[in-house]
Structure 1
Amino acid sequence: MNTPVFRVGPRGRGAHRDIGAALAAAPAGAEILVAPGEYEERLRLERRVVLRPENGAGTVVLRPPAGVALTVAAPGCVVRGLVLHGADPAEPVVRVEDAAGLTLDACELDRGRVDVLGSAKASGNARNATLTLADTLDADLGDPTGGGVLLIRRTRLRGARHAAVVLDGDARARVEDTTLETIDGVGVVLSGHAVLIADRLRVRETSGSALRVRGDARLLARDSTLDGAGRNGVLVEERGEVCLDDCRVRDVGRSGVQAEHEARVHLDDCRITDAKGSAVAVGGTAHLTAHGCRIAGPAANGVVALGESEVTVTASLITRTGFTAVHLGANARARIGGCRLDGSEEHGFAVVGSADAEIVDTTVTGASMCGVHVADQATLSMRAGRIEGGETGVRLRSSTACELRECVVSGQRRTGVEIGTDAVAALYATRIAETGSAGVSVDAGARLRMDGGGIFAVGGSGLVVGRGAEPTVRGIRVDGTAKNGILFGEGARGVIEHSDLSACAYPALHIGRDAEPRFVGCRVFDCAQDVGHSEGARPVFEECVSVRVAAPSLPTLSEASTRTPRQPAAPPGVAAGVASGGGPPTVGAPVSADLAESGEAPPPPETLEDLLAELAELVGLGGVKRDVGGMVKLMQTVRMRQEAGLPAPPLSRHLVFAGNPGTGKTTIARLYGRLLKALGLLERGHLVEVDRSSLVGEYVGHTGPKTTESFNRARGGVLFIDEAYALVPAGVANDFGGEAVATLVKLMEDHRDEVVVIVAGYPGEMERFIASNPGLSSRFTRSLLFDDYSADDLVRIVEHHAGLHRYELSIPARKALGELFTAMPRGAQFGNGRTARQVFQQMTERQAMRMAEIDTPDERQLVVLDEMDLPRLVGSD
């Protein structure tokens, strides 16, 4: 059948002068061709027609004087290639009425929206149909029986106010390869039972949300982009349902996707980037699923779920979030699987309120705060997860419950797993490694069950148990801790079964005052000491042994078959009754007792003359040498008065060493202890060097025992506290360092004749440190100032190291060294003696490179360090 054709133009035989006249004359199914030009008309399509420009798209402009440019009241209408200008951007430029249908193809619409109307009484269950049945919409578009129908292809719509496309009632629409831009309002609004399927839709620069779905409306968008929305990328409210497949949401003013009330949202292979709020926000009782998505750079959370909402995220990446990557609050529920959370400015996961999270096969890396933070009454389970970096790996607060199964927690700046007061945690086959402080800490009232796995190479103690906590631990390994393997604080209890501890820098097990832990079938390997006690500790040991431990209290492996006591055996030099009574073993027993036990003869005692000669041989340090020599003479007088039965004058042996790094403070401190031993004023004269990390605990109640333990190790000798000013940081209140200072002052008073304490650091900082506590200023009354080494002193230090390693400096090398040290900047990076040692090492390396180029160097060449072996200053020619 031939299609009737009607022409519109300013001239020509048989042509209509306006489009309205042609529409009035055309029968259903006719095609209307419009000549190029601008037509000031309002059109109403009441029959099925095709309307298109005669000379191609863009040549015909329809501009009504007022009202709607194009109203469609019949099904099956087609408009191709027209440019439609609305009279008012707040009004419709195109309206599709109920039961009508329109195809807009390759058109341009400006200053006005597209309205597709449906029956206000439309009913039906939006959940009974699925958005994936897109093919059924094509038939409906052809001959609607209810609700307006719109098909938009290759069309651009811009300049609308309030909204660009509005579908209401039971309206339906399909959009393909179409752009909505510069909209003062929302891009697309769906309400009622409306349905929209969009392929390759582009929505740009809307002041409101790009897409808004409410009521029982449904939206399916594929391969679409929402860019620069002033509010949300997608807002889904009430019972609306949205499915985004391979879509991109970028640079929106609020949330990338927001679901509220009873909404349902499905995201598949989507990208949500640079949202000014959260990338995904879910509230009410809404449900959201996301698979294969990438969320990057939101200013707030990656995913936030509140209310009683439910979220499922799988195989997705959430990275560079301004707040927590995944935040669950109120009664929200989340299931996270196969995901990676990277680089959040707060936590990786935060589960608070009464929320619940189940996390499987997911990695959290680079969180600025906690990898996982759980608080209030929230619960979390994590299986086969990895938490890398951050301040704390897993932190539990309040009455939370957490289960980690087959997880790895590593590389935290502070604690691996921190279990707060009243929290409950279960760790199964979980590994904690390379943390800055403790591996696992258990606060007062908390409960921990740990079965399998272990704690490795942590910067503090492996497991720290606070007052009132009672962990149950079975079958774990604790290896390579910088402090204790397991530390039970004051009054703590618990059971440790069939676990191994090895290579702990402090005693493998420390039991605090009134603590009553029970150890069953445990082993300690390769430690200096297996058990350390505080006064009143009451540990129970059953079938526990030590292997290759320097000072064992537990039976050694060879003794285990005949002796398995419930309490540790007494160490050498300590009465067995003391240890069996539960008291602490004495720290710092006389060396002669240890040697007598081993059958070796003790070395001859050092003489005062030999030690003073060793002091005189040190390079530089003229003022310090004089001060130390004067103190030795004073102490000799004190000893002679004591031997004569005369009262000793008041004397404080504690010292302040003030000077820059590398000026010999540790060397002098070690020699000072040996001098006091030679004078008979100290029993052993050994040096125990500590800093803030050795004295200050990570948790409440931990600092006192740590400081006491370090002090006890120094009894009979010298406790040297490097950078002591760090115990009282400037401008910081409520720091645990204050407790360390108070504990130290009391111990110095209680054991005034057993330990000499030397505090060291930069001169100005040490003045502030001493002034911070009256107890310090009364006990540290003498300061020794360590001046920087001169260039000549540094040359002599290099010569000293050369002699120790059988090298010689040539005369030109000595001269060049002096010039090098004179020209060297004396800034914060200058290390005095350390710098001299570094220069010597660099010279040997450069000399070795020279020798490698000589086929057969002679012995003299191998020994001499020459001018050419000197390193160059940075920036020198």
Structure 2
Amino acid sequence: MTRLTVAPRGQGGRGTFRRIGDAVRAAAPGDLVAVAPGTYTETVLLDRAVVLVAEGGPGSVTLTAPPGGGPALTATGPDCAVRGVTVRGADPAEPVVTVSAGAGLVLEDCAVVSGRVQARGADGEPAEEQEEHEEHEEHDEPAGVAVTAVLLRRCRLEGARGAGLHLAGGVRARLEDTLVRAVEGTGVVLSGTARLEAVRMRLEGSTGSGIRLRGRSRLRLADSVLQDAGRAGLLLEDACRATADELRIESPGSAGVHLTGTARAELSDCRIRHASASGLVVQEDAVLTARGCSVADAGANGLLVTGAAGATLTDCRIDRSAFSAVHLSGTATGRLTDCLVRDGAEHGVHATDASRAELADCAIGGVGMTGVAVLDRAAATVTGCRITGAATGVVVGSAAGTTVEHSTVSGTTDIGVQLAEGAAAVLAGVRITGAGAAGVVVDAGADATVNGGSVEDCAGSGVVVWTGARPAFSHVRIERPAKNGVFLAEGAGGAFTSLDVVGSGFPALHIGAKADPEFRHCRIRDCAEALGEDEGAAAVLEDCTADGVPLAPVPAVAPAAGAAAARTATRGPGAAEEPDAPEEHLDDLLVELHELVGLDRVKHDVGSLVKLMQTVRRREEAGLPAPPLSRHLVFAGNPGTGKTTVARLYGRLLKALGLLRRGHLVEVDRTALVGEYVGHTGPKTAAAFNRALGGVLFIDEAYSLAPLGGGNDFGLEAVTTLVKLMEDHRDDVVVIAAGYPGEMTRFVNSNPGLASRFGRTLVFEDYDASELVSIFEYEAKEHQYELTASAREGLTGLFERVPRGEGFGNGRSARQMFQEMTERQAQRVAMLGAPTPEELMSLEAQDLPPAASGS
């Protein structure tokens, strides 16, 4: 090997070349051309196997393209090498380093600035041989096809326009420890049958895609980073192929990895972060396989699969997607095994059109909408999965058929599993726990089979079957639903075999009008009631028990059967009847009214009403027409001001006047009147109203029936039902609506019929300190305690100082104070050896809370 030297004019000895090109032309294959430090403006042609070395080390030599254009360095021969040279272009849109077909070039420790590296090979393989070698990326080119070889090791490509590295045709290239940055366009482009293997490559700041593959090109990436691409991090088109291992894609301007056409990609241990669009996009007929990968903080979907494409993910994570974590459309297929989906804004998995989702051993948690949603003509299989913290666990709205097996749905804010209209689904061994509404809802027209599993601790009913639906449930355990175990709406049906219903807050089985379900071998235990049937229900009960007692349907009740029979039919067998108010004298009740602590304004108003009603009653007895009179009232006041006490006393007064036949009080709130499903609210409101017939219906926090914004809230349906029932039973019930003063005006104005029926409002003012002490002393007297003078003084001061904010409970606060003082007194007296009866009864200043007693 001969060494040739290049140096600027004035340097070097005899035989030194002044231009690099002259030295190369004088060199024989295998010779070394050593270039002294300096800048050389020329075009260098490497047409033979020579080695070009910067003598002063990397960066000491700059080869600059001439101003007229063209590359600075062109390789047309085999086995060419350049080490430590900076190659600078005159136009960043033009190639500054070119490698011709059949040539070979090694760049080591080089920088390529303001222009791209471009290598071209023959146009490619014959089509037949391409198909033959489809699965073998490392095959040799067929005979007669020249191979262009490129190796970049520890190089930097910077400042190009269009592309930083462009490989076209039959090129075989390898990049090691190479940086591509600040490209105005695509960082690396592969087209034709080009092949690139990149190890520890870093690509930063391209305005286009990071890497783009076209044609039948091939790419292998390992331990590399694609950062801040203006478009996709990795874009695969046509019939190209790519494999990536330990690739990190950060903040691409669109998708992290994007496949179209018939492209194929295999990802292993890759990380995609902060994609502006979807993390992984697979379209048309492309196929993606990913193992051990993660996608986080995608601006759209974590995984988007459309057209006829397919994606298979194993042991992958998708976190914090702005849209659905996985979205499938067209006829696409998505297969996820042992994957984790967390904290997405929309659905966990969303299958639409005619797509198919296959999920096995996956966990989906914290998504804003549905854990798994299968809609349109899509189908899904969900096996061994865990869905937690979604709004709804699973929604199936497709007739294509969905199976959910051996999976768990827990902690949803709404329904656990909803089988929507037209759905076809099989649930087997599914556990639903802690749903914020119903456990399972079967909508009209759904074809549902549920076998095994459980519904536990849901805030609504365990199972809801809507009008026209006829599901099949078998061997399902329903535990502790806040409402019904099974709720069947009007006209619903189905077969329910070997169900266990335990601890329901409402009747275990609610059968709507014209519903004809069949219950066989079912067991009910520790429920509020066993069975509630609306008129016209036709349930079949065979070998069913309630707490060990055989269960039979409740007979239908004819309208002429009277109010008491109607109440029994609505509430179901064994329901406790509210006792009538006792027979009492009016004068005794008025004395009881005036003995109440405080409430002077309320006492006056009630007294005036009593006098008015006495007059009305006497006119009726005299055969005179009664003046128009509304007995319904609004009680406006803060908590603990005696509203319930006065309401109960009001019913007793009206009974003593002969204006109510029973005089009892039925106290309800929104939960007792409003259903959580369409068609449930009317019957619930009517049931509560019927219980109050002959007495007083006291609606606490009535304003919650007319929430701000209104919309489709079922509370407005309850209000409408109440208005009609108040008209139908105007002489047999009194309705008292109670709540905060400011909110009750909105309630009355929420329905035109309310204002005409609630003609009078009683205002319950807060108790002052002395009145609270009187309430305290009443409680003390009832329990045989006595306040000392000092304790009374300290208690008065405490009530004067206590904040009267939202948490203040008026009389409730006085009773809570009594409980606290008796507890503190018990601790004090326990320290005495043998306390006297007086000491056991005495409440002293030291028994006050520390803030009041000064201790």
On whether the aligned pair clears a TM of 0.5, the verdict is yes
- With over 3 angstroms needed to count, the CA separation of the structure-2 counterparts of 1:241 and 1:850, relative to structure 1, is farther
Q: Secondary structure at the match of 2:494?
A: strand
2:443 is matched with: 443
- Residue 534 of structure 2 corresponds to which residue in structure 1? 534
Distance of aligned partners of 1:495 and 1:865 in 2 relative to their CA distance in 1, 3 Å threshold: farther
Tell me whether 1:88 sits opposite 2:91 in the alignment: yes
Matched, 1:67 2:70: yes
Distance (whole Å) between structure 2 residues aligned to residue 446 and residue 752 of structure 1? 42
Give 1:365 shift: 1.1
Contact 2:146/2:170 (CA < 8 Å) preserved in 1?
A: yes
Counterpart AA for 1:191: S
Describe the superposition over 1:281-333 as per-residue Cα deviations: whole angstroms up to 9, x where unpaired. 11101111221112111111111111111111121111111111111112111
Match of residue 506 from structure 1: 506
Is the contact between residue 532 and residue 554 of structure 2 (CA under 8 Å) also seen in structure 1?
no
**Residue 17 of structure 1 aligns to which amino acid in structure 2?**
R
SS in structure 2 at match of 1:651: coil
1:696 paired with 2:674, answer: yes
Cα 1:593/1:820, change in 2 over 3 Å: closer
Partner SS for 1:765: helix
Change (3 A) 1:757 1:190: same
The 1-side partners of 2:266 and 2:317 are apart by 16
Q: Which residue of 2 aligns with 1:308?
A: 308
Partner of 1:550: none
Identity %: 49
Amino acid of the structure 2 residue aligned with 1:19: I
Partner of 1:728: 706
Partner of 1:482: 482
CA distance 1:63–1:740, change in 2 (3 Å): same
Question: In structure 1, what is the equivalent of residue 17 of structure 2?
Answer: 16
Pick aligned residue for 1:870 from 826, 849, 853: 849
- 1:771 aligns with 749
2:642 to 648, 656, 664: 664
1:132 Cα offset (Å) = 8.9
Q: Please state whether the residue corresponding to 2:450 is helix, strand or coil.
A: strand
1:625 to 582, 603, 610: 603
The 1:730–1:595 alpha-carbon spacing in structure 2 relative to 1, beyond 3 Å, is: closer
Q: 1:92 to 1:741 in 2, by over 3 A?
A: same
Q: Structure 1's 339 and 286: CA in aligned 2 closer, same or farther, altered over 3 A?
A: same
Q: Which secondary structure does the structure 2 equivalent of 1:185 belong to?
A: strand
Report if aligned partners of 2:784, 2:841 keep a CA contact under 8 Å in 1: no
CA distance in 1, matches of 2:52, 2:435: 72
Do residues 423 (structure 1) and 402 (structure 2) align? no
Letter in 2 for 1:313: L
Do structure 1's residue 4 and structure 2's residue 7 form an aligned pair? no
SS in 2 for 1:738: helix
RMSD: 3.5
Alignment of 1:61-460 (within 5 A): 61-65=62-66, 66-123=69-126, 146-397=146-397, 399=399, 401-460=401-460
Mapped to 2, the partners of 1:410 and 1:444 lie a distance apart of: 25
CA–CA distance in 1 between the matches of 2:529 and 2:25? 104
- In structure 2, the gaps of 5 or more residues are none
Q: CA deviation at 1:667?
A: 3.6
Sort the Cα spacing of 1:661 and 1:594 in 2 relative to 1 into closer, same or farther, 3 A.
closer
Change in Cα spacing, 1:404 to 1:82, as seen in structure 2 (3 Å) is same
TM-score using structure 1 length:
0.88
Q: Distance in 2 between matches of 1:490 and 1:648?
A: 41
1:75 to 1:589, Cα distance in 2 relative to 1, 3 A: closer
- Pick from 700, 713, 727: which aligns with 1:749? 727
Instruction: Measure, in 2, the Cα distance between the counterparts of 1:144 and 1:592.
Output: 94
Give, as a single letter, the amino acid of the residue that structure 2 aligns with 1:86. Answer: G
Answer with 24-33 or 727-736: which moved more.
Answer: 727-736
Q: Secondary structure at the match of 2:403?
A: strand
Distance 2:825 2:147 in 1: 91
TM-score (norm 2): 0.90
Show CA shifts across 1:381-423 (max 9, x none).
2111122122222223364633221122221222112222212
For residues 410-460 of structure 1, what are the alpha-carbon distances to aligned partners after superposition, in whole Å with 9 as ceiling and x for unaligned? 212221122222122222111222222222222222222111112221111
- Alpha-carbon deviation of 1:48? 1.0
One-letter amino acid of the structure 2 residue matched with residue 769 of structure 1: F
* Paired residue secondary structure (2:650): helix
SS in 2 for 1:530: strand
Change beyond 3 A, Cα 1:58–1:613: farther
2:324–2:346 CA contact under 8 A, matched in 1 = yes
Q: Give how far 1:848 is off.
A: 8.1
- Note if contact 1:806-1:863 (Cα within 8 Å) is conserved in structure 2: no
The residue that corresponds to 1:586 in the other structure is 569
Task: Give the distance between the partners of 2:301 and 2:361, measured in 1 at CA.
Answer: 21
Cα offset, 1:807, TM superposition:
6.4
3-state SS of 2:647 partner: helix
CA contact (8 A) 2:112 2:158 kept: yes
Deviates more, 1:309-318 or 1:438-447: 438-447
Q: Which stretch shifts more, 91-100 or 686-695?
A: 686-695
Secondary structure, counterpart of 2:77 in structure 1: coil
Q: Distance in 2 between matches of 1:224 and 1:41?
A: 34
Q: Hey, what's the Cα distance between the residues in 2 that align with 1:850 and 1:15?
A: 109
SS in 1 for 2:720: helix
Q: Give the distance between the partners of 1:569 and 1:674, measured in 2 at CA.
A: 33
1:842–1:427 Cα change, 3 Å: farther
**Inter-CA distance 413–42: structure 2 relative to 1 (3 Å threshold):** same
Is 749-758 or 799-808 further displaced after alignment? 799-808
Please state if 1:54 is matched with 2:55: yes
Counterpart-to-counterpart distance in 1, 2:704 and 2:518: 36
Distance change (3 Å), C-alpha of 1:130 and 1:862:
farther
Question: In 2, distance between residues paired with 1:858 and 1:37?
Answer: 107
CA offsets per residue over residues 492-543 of structure 1, 9 Å max, x none?
Answer: 1212112121222221111122222222122221123211122222222222
Structure 1 residue 631 displacement after superposition: 3.4
User: Could you give the per-residue CA deviations for residues 535-572 of structure 1, whole angstroms, max 9, x where no partner exists?
Assistant: 2222222222211xxxxxxxxx35x4xxx75x3479xx
Shift in alpha-carbon separation, 1:148–1:709, aligned structure 2, 3 A: farther
Q: Which amino acid aligns with 1:94?
A: V
| Counterpart amino acid of residue 7 in structure 2 | G
Deviation at residue 838 of structure 1 after TM alignment: 5.4
Measured after TM superposition, the shift of residue 660 of structure 1 is: 2.8
Q: Could you report, residue by residue, the CA deviation over 1:29-49 in whole angstroms, capped at 9, with x for unpaired residues?
A: 111111111111211111111
Q: How many residues align?
A: 843
8 Å Cα contact 2:654/2:663 also seen in 1: yes
- Please, which moves more after superposition, 606-615 or 319-328? 606-615
After superposition, the Cα gap between the structure-2 partners of 1:85 and 1:595, relative to the gap in structure 1 and judged at 3 Å, is closer
Q: Following the alignment from structure 2 to structure 1, what is the Cα–Cα distance between the partners of residues 308 and 683?
A: 45
1:45 aligns with 2:36: no
Residue deviations 1:609-636, cap 9 Å, x none?
6655554444332222333344344445
CA separation in 2, counterparts of 1:210 and 1:509? 61
